[in-house]
Structure 1
Amino acid sequence: MQLTRYGSVDDFVAEAERYQVAREAEHNLLLGICSAIRADAEALWERPYFVIVTDDSGGIAAAALRTPPWDLVLSQIDDLAAIEPLVEDSTLHDAHIRGVTGPKIAADAFARRWSQWTGRGVHLELEERIMRLSRVVPPTPIPGSWRLAEDRDRALLGQWWSAFADEAVPEAPRWADLAAVVDRLIRRVDRTIYLWEVAGRVVSMAGAGGKTPNGIRIGPVYTPPELRRRGYASALTAAVSQDQLDAGRRFCFLFTNLANATSNRIYQAIGYEPVAAVDQYAFEAGPPL
């Protein structure tokens, strides 16, 4: 196995995109992060890390990237021999890597080998499922309608963006400048935010970003606790998905938390189909290796 680092997102995409698009749903996060970097490189906190592992025949065995301080993101890895060079190189590149996210088998193997290599503990932080939609099944009509987020929604977006993160990924890093994040959302730099409004009141939020060659990732989807179980998230997610299909996308993708039976049920009811399991591991912090 041969590992190669890439100094730019363009070089990485030129080499890896064909491999990733062959399994576009499984690789939608990798593809989407690359498209987001191309759209707004100034949003990066630190220099990103891009690597590809090739086998003895020169074919791609694995691809991975990291945009610190976020997790290392893995591609589908069919030959787990590619894990060894990935663990060694990514850890030498940054001994403070927070964790890994990827297809279940690959992420599990990486986490185990990382723990052996570093002597530090790991724990399974989140079990998810990638889902894909190509046709929307309209939900039962409810009051209200969707609109795009505007400048007047800044305060609400900041509150809900943070609330979603606190609930869905409580251990993940937080943004150094939330106001700048909201500004990019309002300007639709790499993500569009949709809102569901009832009688002038915004009751739910959903995003669309992380473009792939044939699709886009839906998320985050957030409704305040006091407004849940009224069909707002279903209606808005269906509307966002349909709007993206109408814009020419072949697919919409999203990640669901396997522990949240409600969200899994409502997404499948509007046309999303399970594709692959994804695990997210958090790594124990420690001194430089």
Structure 2
Amino acid sequence: MLQSFAAGDAVLHSAEFMKNEVQHSLIHNIVDYPDALRLTTSDRRLLFVQSKGYSPWLWVSGELEPAQRIRLIEQLIENLEELPDSDFPGITAEPQTARIFAGAYCAARGKLYHTNMLLESYQCTEVRKPSSVQGTLVQAATVHIPVIAEFTAGFARDAFGTSQPVEHYLPHADAAVRTGNLYLWMVGGAPVAMAKTVHRSARICRINDVYTSREFRKHGYASRLVAELCEQVLAEGLIPVLFADGKNPDSNKVYQSIGFVQAGKIAEIKFE
């Protein structure tokens, strides 16, 4: 039933997948990894992809009837038993799909599961740039690595509750600068916010790691920064997309205010 597929497989450009593409945009990113697990069904109505060590992402066509979706997911789980390593830490998918998979998978393995995070996916086709926001957009450079590490530590604390010293994030900051895709919003010559474009596929470009230093929040800096990046992405002929924590109404309102519209929820479920 399951087949491996290559990163450039036509299934990633099928009409059925494209209806949910923004919601499942990380699948494009995952399949590009050389060691990625890439599985699909013969009818190309299910995708199951995983970067080694992380929770897999699952897409099932929304064109299927509920009973068909359930049966397809159950068949997926049965076939996964044949893999040499099918002990996954969790599952990420559209919420109902994620719950169906988690329930069947954990029942078969005597595990429990819980929803770790509920994300809202967004796309922007028309930017509403905030007015009267001071500052300028700059591409991050090596001189900015210390402050980027500081911002990354703050982002990890706010988004995931993790607490690591700033020095822990210096290699990450260095790597991010080298991609050329990390940008800063500067006010009075000092960085106050950051964001980056992380993956471009045939139609979309994802923006993430949006962060404003705490002492500079509520001034519209992140909104203007993201709006500027959206303009750049749209000029490339791509659609900017991003994810926001469903439990953070402030960030959701900010993205909606600059032109992002909801494109579907994603649940990250952990197994234990």
Same fold (TM over 0.5): yes
Task: Give the letter aligned to residue 85 of structure 1.
Answer: Q
Q: What residue in structure 2 maps to residue 60 of structure 1?
A: 44
Q: Which amino acid letter does the alignment assign opposite residue 231 of structure 1?
A: G
| Code of the aligned partner of 2:4 | R
What is the aligned partner in structure 2 of residue 100 from structure 1?
Answer: 91
| Aligned counterparts, 1:75-90, within 5 A | 75-78=59-62, 79-90=69-80
Is 1:264 the equivalent of 2:255?
Answer: no
- Code of the residue aligned with 1:25 in structure 2: it is V
Instruction: Letter of the 2:75 partner, please give it.
Output: P
TM-score if structure 1 supplies the norm length? 0.81
> 1:79-98 CA deviation, whole Å, 9 max, x = no partner?
23221233344464435422
Q: Which whole-Å CA distance do the structure 2 matches of 1:170 and 1:113 have between them?
A: 30
Query: Does structure 1 conserve the Cα–Cα contact (< 8 Å) formed by 2:30 and 2:50?
Result: no
Aligned-residue offset at 1:148: 0.8
Superposed CA deviations along residues 27-64 of structure 1, whole A, max 9, x for unmatched, are 311113335x3xxx5xxxxx32111123xxxx212102
Gaps of 5+ in 2: 63-68, 163-167
Inter-CA distance 180–80: structure 2 relative to 1 (3 Å threshold): farther
Q: Distance in 2 between matches of 1:161 and 1:97?
A: 27
The change in CA–CA distance for 1:155 and 1:69 in structure 2 (over 3 A counts) is farther
Count of residue pairs the alignment pairs up? 258
Of stretches 89-98 and 220-229 in structure 1, the one that deviates more from structure 2 is: 89-98
C-alpha RMSD of the superposition: 2.2
Q: What letter is aligned with 2:55? A: D
Q: Tell me whether 1:27 sits opposite 2:11 in the alignment.
A: no
Q: 3-state SS of the aligned residue for 1:210?
A: strand
Match of 2:54 in 1: 70
Q: Indicate the SS of the match to 2:9.
A: helix
TM (norm. structure 2) is 0.86
Residues 37 and 49 in structure 2, CA contact (< 8 A), matched pair in contact too: yes
State the Cα deviation string for residues 121-170 of structure 1 (Å, max 9, x = none): 11100111111111101113211111111111222223322332332234
Whole-Å separation in 2 of the counterparts to 1:64 and 1:227: 41
Specify which of 217, 222, 225 is matched with residue 233 of structure 1. Answer: 222
Query: Is residue 117–residue 245 contact of structure 2 (8 Å, CA) maintained in 1?
Result: yes
Cα–Cα, structure 1 residues 209 and 90, in superposed 2: closer, same or farther, change >3 Å?
farther
Identity %: 24
2-side partners of 1:209 and 1:254: how far apart? 10
> Which residue does 1:255 correspond to in 2?
243
Q: Is the 8 A contact 2:30 2:36 kept in 1?
A: no
Asked if the contact 2:31/2:38 (under 8 Å) is kept, the reply is no
1:3 maps to amino acid: L
Which consecutive unaligned segments of at least 5 residues does structure 1 have? 42-46, 172-176, 285-289
Would the aligned equivalents of 2:146 and 2:170 in 1 still touch at CA under 8 Å?
A: no
